[in-house]
Structure 1
Amino acid sequence: MLWKCKSWKGRWLCVLLMVIVLPILAAQKIGDPYKILGIHRRASLPEIRKAYRQLAKEWHPDKNEDPNAESRFVEIKQAYELLLDTERRQAYDLYGITNEDDHMYKQRHDYSQYARFSNDPFDYFGTHFRTQDQDITLFHKLSITARHFENNILEKSVHTPALVLFYTDWCFDCVRSATAWRRLVEALQPLGVTLATVHAGHEANLARRIGVHGVPCLTLILDKQVYLYKESLSSLPKILDFIRWKFPYKQISHLTDRNVDVFVSDFEDNKVKALIFEERQVIRLRYLITAFHYRDRVSFAFVDISAQNTQKVTARYKIQRSMDTMVLLKEDSVEPAATVSTTEIPSQTLRQLIEANQMLTLPRLSSQSVLDSVCPVEWRAARRRLCCVLVARERAHAQSLAQLRALARRAPERLKYAYVYAHAQPDFVDALANGSGIDISTLEHRIVVIWRREATRIQYEWLNETWPTCSQCRPDELEEGAARGEEAVRYHERLNETKRALEQLVKRLLKPNEVVAYETRVKELVDEAVKGPLWRAVWRLCEWAERALSALRTQHALSALSVLATVALVLAAGYFMAYLIRVEEESVQRQKEERRRQNGTKRNNNDQQSEMRLHELRAEKYNGLVRLLKPGCRTIVLLVDGQSRVQLLSKFHKIVWPYRKNKTLLFAYLCVDRHVEWFRRVLQLSLGGGELRVNARNCVGTVLALNPHRKYFCIYHAKHPECAKPHKRMSRMTVSLGGRAADPEAGAFIGFTTDPDSSDDDRYDPPLLLQENLLDGLGNWLDRLFEGSTHRYYVNYWPDMTTK
């Protein structure tokens, strides 16, 4: 069935449907969010937020006159919302889904319906169960999702610590810890700590990623690091000690009368100084949390009023002993910038006081956050905010900064003063020089007036006069009303002229219709407080060492010392036992040498030390050397008789001496005149059961390499084919022994048996060998044995060895 739109009503209906359907389809598909924001696929949440802020300011319809600015702004916002949601971002990375249909995603758990019956007057459950239900409902009221955890808790932990408890339903341990959790919330929430709970059953991926192995599990999130608390929740002091231990080490300096002057006079770190006075040895947790929150702006120090070495600094700032006091200090300030004193200073009061005094009078542009605070972005010309920046070198002249600081104290609301080090921020200074065409070498002690219209685009204008300095002037000549020399008079004249020129320039640029001379784009400022990886590693090692030393002075010192003492005792006992064994060995060696000298015999250099034992293979040792030997081990056996025993064993000992340290080898000898029947039985089993007539005298000098586990052996004899091979008679000798094997070497034990039926022409006469030459080729044969190139003779079982 075809729908033909020939009438004018049909055409208008088609147009109406297209107008309705196309925007819906376009709204459901927003394109690639990574390309829209201009970021890579592995971008972190801070990078996503940064890209969104820049693009949103650039394409905001109120700022951008492009006709497509509104649609572009909506597209940027949709892409940002998609990537900010971890589940939607994962769905897009895996399946390319960009719309927000409910059927595309799993149903998220609704935490708003918890505790809906907690105030029910008709609750028919007992009082015991209702109390437990009211306790555990606190878990449900504070429950958060994985997205909230990643986007808020984790990101804000850079300045605000958080405690997150993982729990589940029908968890009796969770019910028992509900009261402790309530006390923890009441104690830490007023101090500025974020407390939340996560249902481990509903947010299983988050619990698995963090490493939660059981519930209830308390975690501390601090500076984007997650720390698991592995003890019981019943002890509140232990939890507070755990939190205190995880804060950055030496975040708060301890001041005494010796180091107070160094601390309050060093403002090179570009931070306001805050002194906390308490009549106790350890700073309160509320002040520690506040110091962590403002550590980028304020440098905190702690003063113990009760100590004997802090009397001068306490009298210097007129501190009352029964009060907690916080004093804020700025540079070149005789009086404190702010002071608060009470029994326990509330966290809210601390934050309000620090917020109002968190910047120095003349701050240095040492990071992007300082630039945003001193010179905020203002795109409207009628409300433009200016920032006068002095370009200086490191350790700039104190007199120049002091004069500029005096102007900063009298500056109007829309004008701020600051300075920047040219060597520390080269990209920023180069952008200002290139945008105005000024030689960068002439920028020292020049003042630039900046107006930030956008985050990366600024308009600026240089002060024509260079800020004057006087290196030959004495400090007393720079004060107002003091007697001055000729050089100091000229310096003050130039300084007054420069101040007037700067005031005229600022007054002109504050007018809404005034055009600023230059414009350029700048990169983000380098954070001068960030240390390199090597320095961070050294600092971490020093921190661990100092933490260990400080722990020895606390209540944990006894347990730590006991562990160290135990380890030292074990090491000392081991060393003492080794020393006794070494002394005993030396004593035995001295006794042997003494007996040898008394007997008048010289030590033979050819006699080897008794580091290797040669076992006699007999019935008593047969199981240990053959049958019960471990897999992978072999026994090397030399066949001797009573006449050749001493001579052959001495030579055999020398040949196998290099292999003495091989743990898989055992060395033995067999008296063939007593156990020739066992040897004949082994040969018979390897040849398939044929009859053999073995001459015991001809077996002397034979070496067997037995592999008991694999049930095979390799054989060495000076007349064996593997050692001296008469290849042309090999097959005849095999036939004469009754062998039918395909290997011509199988069973060819020369001299072990004779065949009376063979003719004299076919009989092989072996060369004559002396007894001392029987083992001449054993070294080469051992090399081939360990290479695996010798022939293997397999047996079904190892025959018994009888005792005669």
Structure 2
Amino acid sequence: MRRFLWLFLLFLSLLCVAARLKDPYSILGVQKKADGQEIKKAYKKLAKLWHPDKNESPDAEKKFIEINQAYELLMDPERRRLYDTTGQTEEQPNFMRQHIGKMSITFKSYQNSIVLLSKKQPYLILFYSDWCLACAHIEPIWRRLYEELEPINFGMATVHAGHETELARKIGVKTVPYLIMLLDGHPYHYTEPSLSMVSSLDFIRSKFPHKLVQRITDENLETFLNGWMDNKVRVLIFGRLDIIRLRYLTVGWEFRERAVIGYVQMDRADTDSIRQRFSVSNKVDTLLVFHEDMHAPVASAAMTDLPYPTMKDIIEGNKFLVLPRLSSQSVFDALCPVENVRSRRRLCVVLVTQDDPAHDPSRAALREYASGDQARERDRVRYTYIFREKQVEFMNALTAGSGSPVETNHHIVILWRKDQNHLKYEWLEGGWEVEPEKHNTSREVLKETVQRLLHSNQPMTYETVVQELFDEHAQGIVWRIINKLVSVQDYLRDNITQDDIVPAVSIFCTVLFIVAGGYVMSYLVKLEEERISGSQTTFVDQNGKITPVPQLRIHELRGETYNGLIRLLKPGCRTVVVLCDPKTKPKLMPKFHKACWPYRKNKTLMFAFLNIERASAMEWYKRILVLGLPEPRDLNINPKNTIGTVIALNGHRKYYCLYHAKHPESIFGTAPTPGAPETENLRRRHGHSSISGDFMGFSDNDSESDSDVEAGDARKDSVASDKPLLNYYSNILFEDQLLEDLSNWLDRLFEGTTHRYHINYWPDWPGK
């Protein structure tokens, strides 16, 4: 019997080889680009030459049949297209021609399309080849799999292993037929010796993540529904089967970034109270979607057999919370899409908060506002919130404008995206108040502002460029390493034989070494950061006493630090620099430190000092003063007059702001301080204004003796002096007074009310 079967298979193979059609283009002697007229002309010529009635050659009949078959194939557009793409003809064994012809993919389509689609749609891919009897044997199984899985969002594809050898080698296909399942770009190999419906479905089910659909009982229901702070909606599916159906797994896979799916088996004793709580019938399958309110679903569906399209439509329409968080770029794109036409603005109302329970009342108030009458504008207005500490770069871009609040927590910013990176925005006046006596006012201001921006062509106040949002849901390095190790394990199990054990162990040890090295480096970096943060800055006073001051890193601006402190500053960042010399530094630095201390936690600021005794430092200072003047002129710098000057530099936007005790911004238009000494108010109202440029260090006299800065006590002999106070304070300025108003000036700096001296470029540091 075995011998008969072997002879039959050999006969069948010879018969197929004999019947196989060669390349039809070479048979007719035409190019692949040949049109119908060229093919017909070549056919007529060869048919006359090889017609058995006119050609006595013993191969004439066989040749004439090949010519006719080639002509018929190339004149049929569908058969010609099939041959050009797959190499198949009707004379070849056509394994599942009706299915494989339509589902066959190439290496290019696998890389550019299938891998991306597998992030939301699981794919089942079958590798086959010609003359594969086992492939023909599993044809009915594959057809049944297609009928079962395609309606529940499975992608089905086939690959001709002989034509797509690169793809087969990349995935690790060693024989045909070969089945893989593709999830999020990762191929999982079917390793059972035989393929059947039961084994293939078990294989598919086992490759989905373990907790993709969670089983829900009375014990974990509250925890499940209350978990929406992860920014995902909750979906409960009530079913009667003990196993979780594949359609629930595929819908969970598609919406895993926006929804968490729970399965309630209705015939269990520990789920009866859940079914009664939500009035679910035990005769039909039911789907419930929950937002922040765990007591009332926002959408539901009940059917004898929940179809996949119905579940998809319901979840798709309710996949965002009432007040979702801008937690990733994909969420930002979905909630705040680009709309570059002003008359059709789509606004995004964003509440700035922190990941702190103390900020819950602000979020709850905006959530209540968003779920009210304002819902009718949802197609053009979305209400969201953001965690300031997690989206630092995004918030830095929004606070770079002069009108942004100093403290942005509990404030609302209204965004309009002109394109992917550019957006216009306005800050809501007064912030978002939740106290009962102020909340109604905040609601009215928000409503009026949104309506004004929606229904008018009035331009929005500020514009900025933002980078992609940080993905708060991205896996940390530990989980990425674990997933990588799992992938390596799957690969080793599916592809490594006894002969490959040594390379596999080498790969595993290399990964472990990299992980261990990473942990050691992380630990050393942490120790270094703790050492630096624990250190203190010290200053030496005139008596030689060392005074410790809490850490505020103040760098020295010189050639080595110039690029880092100024030229390479990121957008929204500034460096504040005080000018001093070794003699005045012990007096000025504590005052500078005290004025800057409230801003020590602002990551957009850096602080430095400039030693004016360095020739290169004074030369650089002179250059930026010249660049900031409306008309170029020669400057004669008196270094003593520059002592106590504070310059705030915006490296990205190329401008600087100046502070000096004699700067007009510091001494003019300042209201008298209630309760302050009269001498102080006189000094504020009547500064020395007639000396043009003295506050920058300009002077027409080279002599350092002309300096307006005198060492000593600011009020020495002021009471006993008979001189008019105004005249006294308008001609002499003591070192102790130089930074007296710096705190007020810094407040105005961050409010955006100080004068800006714009320059075209940052000059090179002298001598570099």
TM-score (norm 2): 0.50
Pairing 1:418–2:381 present = no
Shift of 1:435: 2.8
2:576 aligned partner: none
1:400 Cα shift?
2.2
Partner residue, 1:207: 168
Shift of 1:384: 0.8
Cα deviation for residue 451 of structure 1 reads: 0.2
1:661-680 to structure 2, matched below 5 A, reads none
Q: For 1:414, give the aligned amino acid.
A: R
Residue of structure 1 equivalent to 2:668: none
- Structure 2 letter corresponding to 1:324: D
Once the two structures are TM-superposed, the CA of residue 111 in structure 1 deviates from its matched residue by 6.3
Local SS of the residue matching 1:339:
strand
Deviation at 1:213, TM superposition (A): 0.3
| Correspondence for 1:286 | 247
How far 1:406 sits from its partner (Å)?
2.2
Deviations 1:330-353 (A, max 9, x none): 113632111111122111111111
Show CA shifts across 1:172-212 (max 9, x none): 11111111111111110001000011111111111111110
* 2:151 matches 1:190: yes
Q: Is the 8 A contact 1:180 1:233 kept in 2?
A: no
For the structure 1 residues 434 and 384, does the alpha-carbon distance in structure 2 shift closer, same or farther, using more than 3 Å as the test?
same
The answer to whether 1:161 aligns with 2:126 is no
- Partner of residue 348, structure 1: 309
Q: CA deviation at 1:249?
A: 2.0
Match of 2:104 in 1: 143
State the alpha-carbon separation in 1 of the partners of residues 107 and 143 from structure 2: 22
Task: Give the CA deviation at 1:529.
Answer: 1.1
Distance 1:414 1:314 in 2: 37
Q: Which residue of the partner structure matches residue 121 of structure 1?
A: none
RMSD: 2.7
Query: In the alignment, what sits opposite 2:476?
Result: 532
Q: Aligned AA for 2:444?
A: R
- 2:96 partner SS: helix
Cα shift at 1:538: 6.2
Unaligned runs of 5+ in 1: 1-106, 118-124, 470-490, 546-804
How many angstroms does 1:307 deviate by? Answer: 1.4
Cα distance in 2 for residues equivalent to 1:461 and 1:400: 19
> What's 1:170 paired with?
131
Say if 1:459 and 1:519, in contact at 8 Å, map to a contact too.
yes
Q: Distance in 1 between matches of 2:421 and 2:243?
A: 45
Q: Per the alignment, do residues 144 and 531 of structure 1 end up closer, same or farther by CA in structure 2, a change over 3 Å counting?
A: closer
Contact persistence 1:324–1:344 (CA under 8 A) = yes
Specify which of 274, 295, 307 is matched with residue 313 of structure 1: 274
- Aligned partner of 1:398 among 360, 372, 384: 360
Tell me what 2:631 maps to. none
Q: Encode CA deviations 1:21-65: one digit per residue, 9 max, x unaligned.
A: xxxxxxxxxxxxxxxxxxxxxxxxxxxxxxxxxxxxxxxxxxxxx
Counterpart contact for 1:181–1:233, Cα < 8 Å: no
Distance of 1:258 and 1:448 partners within structure 2: 41
Displacement, 1:284? 0.4
Distance 2:383 2:294 in 1: 17
Q: Within 5 Å, which residues of 2 pair with 1:88-487?
A: 110=83, 133=94, 135-232=96-193, 234-332=195-293, 334-396=295-357, 397-409=359-371, 410-411=373-374, 412=377, 413-438=379-404, 440=406, 442-469=407-434
Query: Cα distance, 1:280 vs. partner?
Result: 2.2
1:502 aligns with 2:468: no
1:630-683 CA deviation, whole Å, 9 max, x = no partner? xxxxxxxxxxxxxxxxxxxxxxxxxxxxxxxxxxxxxxxxxxxxxxxxxxxxxx
Closer, same or farther in 2 for the Cα pair 1:543/1:314, shift >3 Å? farther
Q: How far apart are residue 238 of structure 1 and its match?
A: 1.1
Structure possessing the higher relative contact order (Cα contacts under 8 Å, 6 or more residues apart): 2
CA distance in 2, matches of 1:543, 1:174: 28
Identity %: 39
Contact 1:233 1:239 in 2 (8 A): no
Structure 2: distance between partners of 1:320 and 1:215: 48
Please report how far the alpha carbon of residue 150 of structure 1 lies from its aligned counterpart in structure 2 after TM superposition.
1.0
Change (3 A) 1:511 1:166: same
Kindly provide the amino acid, as one letter, of the partner of residue 380 in structure 1.
V
What is the TM-score when the length of structure 1 is the normalising length?
0.48
Name 1:519's counterpart in structure 2: 463
Taking the aligned partners of 1:436 and 1:298, their CA distance within structure 2 comes to 39
CA 311–537 in structure 1, closer or farther in 2 if over 3 Å, else same: farther
Q: CA deviation at 1:463?
A: 0.6
Closer/same/farther in 2, CA of residues 175 and 110 from structure 1, 3 Å limit: same
Shift in alpha-carbon separation, 1:191–1:259, aligned structure 2, 3 A: same
1:87-126 CA-to-partner distances (Å, cap 9, x unmatched) read xxxxxxxxxxxxxxxxxxxx99856688886xxxxxxx9x
Q: Hey, what's the Cα distance between the residues in 2 that align with 1:543 and 1:199?
A: 25
How far residue 279 of structure 1 moved from its aligned partner, in angstroms, is 1.4
* CA distance in 1 between partners of 2:259 and 2:461 (Å): 36
Paired residue type of 1:508: R
The residue type equivalent to 2:163 in the other structure is H
Residue type of the alignment partner of 1:298? A
Deviation at 1:501, TM superposition (A): 0.7
- Specify the structure having the higher radius of gyration (Cα): 1
Rounded Cα–Cα distance in structure 2 between residues aligned with 1:398 and 1:423: 16
Q: How far does residue 535 in structure 1 lie from its aligned partner after superposition?
A: 4.2
> Conserved in 1, the CA contact under 8 Å of 2:82 and 2:88?
no
Q: Quickly say closer, same or farther: Cα 1:439–1:237, change in 2 above 3 A.
A: same
Letter in 1 for 2:160: H
* Structure 1 pair 496–333 and aligned structure 2 pair: CA distance change class (3 A): farther
Alignment of 1:785-800 (within 5 A): none
Give the C-alpha shift of residue 399 in structure 1.
2.8
Change (3 A) 1:543 1:162: closer
Shift of 1:376: 0.5
Q: CA deviation at 1:158?
A: 0.8
Corresponding letter in the other structure for 1:385: R
Q: Distance in 2 between matches of 1:282 and 1:273?
A: 20
Q: Could you say what secondary structure the match of 2:262 adopts? A: strand
| Aligned AA (2:390) | A
Equivalent pair of 1:142/1:196 in contact (CA under 8 Å): yes
Structure 2: segments with no counterpart, 5+ residues: 1-79, 490-768
- Asked if the contact 1:145–1:198 (Cα under 8 Å) also holds between the matched residues in 2, the reply is yes
Once residues 241 and 289 of structure 2 are traced to their aligned partners in structure 1, the CA distance between those partners, rounded to angstroms, is 20
- Mapped to 2, the partners of 1:172 and 1:538 lie a distance apart of 40
Superposed CA deviations along residues 557-586 of structure 1, whole A, max 9, x for unmatched, are: xxxxxxxxxxxxxxxxxxxxxxxxxxxxxx
String of CA shifts for 1:240-271, please: whole Å, max 9, x gaps: 11111111121222211111011112211100
- The residue type paired with residue 414 of structure 2 is V
What CA deviation, in whole Å up to 9, does each residue of 1:514-561 have, x standing for no partner?
11000001111111111212244568999999xxxxxxxxxxxxxxxx
Task: Say if 1:152 and 1:111 are closer, same or farther in 2 by CA, change over 3 A.
Answer: farther
**8 Å contact from structure 2 (residues 336, 346) kept in 1:** yes
- How far 1:497 moved relative to its partner? 0.5
Query: How many Å separate the matches in 1 of 2:486 and 2:128?
Result: 37
> CA 1:514–1:429 in 2, change beyond 3 Å: closer, same or farther?
same
Contact 2:251–2:308 at 8 Å: present in 1 too?
yes
CA contact (8 A) 2:417 2:423 kept: yes
- 1:366/1:111 CA distance change after superposition, 3 Å: farther
